Structure 1
Amino acid sequence: MIRNYDRVPSTLVRAYADLDVATVHEARGKRGAMAAAIKPIHPGMRVCGTALTVRSQPGDNLMLHKAIDIVSPGEILVVDMTGWEGGPWGDLMSVSAKARGCGGLVIDGYVRDSETIRAHGFNVFSRGLSVNGTFKEAIGLINHPVSCGGVIVAPGDLILGDDDGVCVVPKAEAEAVLEQAKIRVEDELVSREQFARGETLWNLAGFQKLAEAKGLREEPVTGEEN
Structure 2
Amino acid sequence: MKSRPALTTGSSYTEICQRLAGLTTPLICDASPHIRLMDSAIVPIGEKNQCIGRAYTVNSAQDSLSTMQALDDLQAFLAFLNSDTDIAPTILIIASCGAPHALAGGMCAAVAKHNGFGGIVTDGFCRDIKEIQASELPFFAKGKCARSGSKNRVGTIREKIECGGVAVNPGDIVFADIDGVVIMDKEEAVSAIEKGEEIQMKEEIALQRIQDGARFNQICNIDEHIENLRSGTSSKLRLTL
TM range (shorter): 0.7 to 0.9
Asked if the contact 1:62–1:135 (Cα under 8 Å) also holds between the matched residues in 2, the reply is no
Q: Which residue of 2 aligns with 1:111?
A: 126
What is the RMSD of the two structures over their aligned residues, measured on CA atoms? 1.8
* Structure 2 unmatched runs, 5+: 1-11, 76-87, 232-241
Distance 1:203 1:82 in 2: 49
Give 3-state SS (helix, strand or coil) of 2:176's partner: strand
Q: Which residue of 1 aligns with 2:70?
A: 67
The 5 Å alignment of 1:74-223 reads: 74-215=89-230
TM-score (norm 2): 0.80
2:37 counterpart of 1:22: no
Alpha-carbon offset, residue 93 of structure 1:
1.4
Alpha-carbon offset, residue 143 of structure 1:
1.8
AA aligned to 1:22 is P
AA aligned to 1:66 is Q
Alpha-carbon offset, residue 34 of structure 1:
1.1
Count matched residues. 208
Give 3-state SS (helix, strand or coil) of 2:204's partner: helix
* Structure 1 unmatched runs, 5+: 1-7, 217-226
AA aligned to 1:195 is I
Pick the structure with greater CA Rg: 1
Distance 1:161 1:200 in 2: 33
Distance 1:23 1:115 in 2: 31
TM-score (norm 1): 0.85
Give 3-state SS (helix, strand or coil) of 1:214's partner: helix
Alpha-carbon offset, residue 32 of structure 1:
2.1
Q: Which residue of 1 aligns with 2:37?
A: 33
Moved more, 46-55 or 134-143: 134-143
Asked if the contact 2:95–2:124 (Cα under 8 Å) also holds between the matched residues in 1, the reply is yes
Alpha-carbon offset, residue 63 of structure 1:
0.3
